[in-house]
Amino acid sequence: MAGCSHGITPTDHSFTALADLYGKCQRGHTLPQALYTSQAVFDFEMKAVFARAWLQAGHLAEVPRVGDYITAQVGKTSVVIIREAESSVRAYFNTCRHRGALICTSDKGSARRLVCPYHQWTYDLKGNLIFARNMPADFDPGRHSLIPVHCEVVAGVIFIALSDDVPDFSELRRALGPMLAPHDLENAKVAHAAVLPEYANWKLVMENGRECYHCSARHPELLSSFRDPTEDDYFEGLPQWMVDFEATCRANGLINGPAEGAWFDILRFPIKDGVDSLTLDGRLACAKPLIPGGEGNIGTLRWATEPSAFSHALRDHAFTFEAWPIDAGTTHVRAKWLVHKDALEGRDYELAHLTALWNATNDQDKWLAENNFLGVQGAGYVPGPYSQNDEKKVIDFVDWYLDTVRSYLHR
């Protein structure tokens, strides 16, 4: 089945055409061409997938003080996430209720009030409109508050949802909270953040991030300390090194998992023998640990949430990856490195050492995803089979994606 024979045009928005296209998908195979390349499909996904999912959007560490904010871009939709009070973080659509201009125009900042740069309509941190110049006497500010976005926090990680049609968040909270809490990300800081534009469809970016089938050939830096999961099964027959690892984690009071839900999976797994962290040389990236005390190699806690994020938390630092779709062929990858809030650069960590492994890996993955996208757009593309073992997480991701869009089509 050639994917290029099942495209839909940008003007074809009928559910019938979409249902026909999704009906041609074969389980265990890559998707038809149009599902990677069509802007009409992308626009549909913004409603069927991204508006119906919990999106990992940042960390409490990015908004430590009242008035601190970050923004997130999902397709054409912008969201502002702001520390409204010492114990409260809120999110709003980043759109003025006057004429729709963006209110916060930078990735991050701090403000006592949210002021639209166009006509200076002004909102307090609860989203209430408190100033609108020269409006008529019967104008009701209470009808023009910022539109809220669902916002939840678990173990210092912020999630947002753009609609009410989302899974029960409590399932993730129950699973991730106890496993991530020992890393104390609520008392961390973002040592470095980077935005990497990738000129590829968001699904190709995420498929790449869900497997290590390519790691031995393309990621020498990552494999300097990361244990290649394609070499052997971590849990098949429980080899002695795995028994020892689990005992070390228990001695440190840690939960290994796995914990899985329909839209997330969480697992602590070992890094290479003889290394202390995910760095090029295997040494700790930060001398002031997130988890104080304890001994031995506790590996990395990896959690992944559909559709667009994965993260690693180690003894000394954490790394998070968020993929934000912009259009059918553009995805912005946001990478963030967290260390203890009291760690000092130059004393407790060196930025180049902290970031080198994932910077190299992200650059390599950018090339791989973009090259993949170039090939998928060609006339010779035909959906191909995944490896049932080494690309199992990719299969899970694609199955989740197909189930999600089909449930929307068949409502």
Residue 207 makes CB contacts below 8 A (sequence gap 6+) with 30, 394, 397, 398
Residue 279 makes CB contacts below 8 A (sequence gap 6+) with 225, 285, 353, 354, 356, 357
- Which domain range does residue 297 map to? 1-52+189-411
Residue 234: pLDDT band (50, 70, 90) is low
Residues 53, 269: Cα–Cα separation, whole Å: 26
Same domain (yes/no): 221, 338: yes
Instruction: Give the number of C-alpha atoms closer than 13 A to the C-alpha of residue 369, restricted to the C-beta side.
Output: 29
Q: Does position 8 have pLDDT exceeding 90, yes or no?
A: no
Indicate the burial class of 17 (C-beta count within 10 angstroms; 0-12, 13-18, 19 or more).
middle
3-state SS assignment for residue 72 = strand
Q: How many domains does the chain have?
A: 2
Mean pLDDT over 104-125 rounds to: 98
Residues 150, 211: Cα–Cα separation, whole Å: 30
* Tens digits of residue pLDDT in 15-37: 788 999 999 999 999 999 999 99
pLDDT value, residue 131: 98
**Residue 170 placed within a domain:** no
**Residue 385 placed within a domain:** yes
Same domain (yes/no): 361, 387: yes
Residues 90, 158: Cα–Cα separation, whole Å: 10
Contact 97, 129 (CB under 8 A): yes
What is the value of pTM for the model shown?
A: 0.94
Same domain (yes/no): 81, 47: no
Contact 303, 311 (CB under 8 A): yes
Q: Which two tokens stand for residue 364?
A: 């390599």
- Average pLDDT score over the chain: 94
Same domain (yes/no): 149, 213: no
238 vs 182, higher pLDDT = 182
Same domain (yes/no): 30, 87: no
39-48 vs 15-23: helix axis angle to the nearest 10? Answer: 90
* Tens digits of residue pLDDT in 130-142: 999 999 999 999 9
Residue 128: pLDDT band (50, 70, 90) is very high
Give me the CATH number covering residue 59: 2.102.10.10
Contact 23, 34 (CB under 8 A): no
Same domain (yes/no): 211, 145: no
Strands 330-340 and 188-198: antiparallel
Residue 275: pLDDT band (50, 70, 90) is very high
Quickly count: other Cβ atoms within 10 Å of residue 142's Cβ: 7
Helix (H) or strand (E) holding 319: strand 318-327
Give me the CATH number covering residue 408: 3.90.380.10
Helix (H) or strand (E) holding 242: helix 240-251
Q: Name the residue among 117, 124, 125 with its Cα closest to residue 82.
A: 125
Contact 315, 290 (CB under 8 A): yes
Q: Name the residue among 352, 360, 319 with its Cα closest to residue 221.
A: 360
Residues 5, 20: Cα–Cα separation, whole Å: 12
Same domain (yes/no): 143, 201: no
Residues 331, 366: Cα–Cα separation, whole Å: 10
DSSP state of 235: S
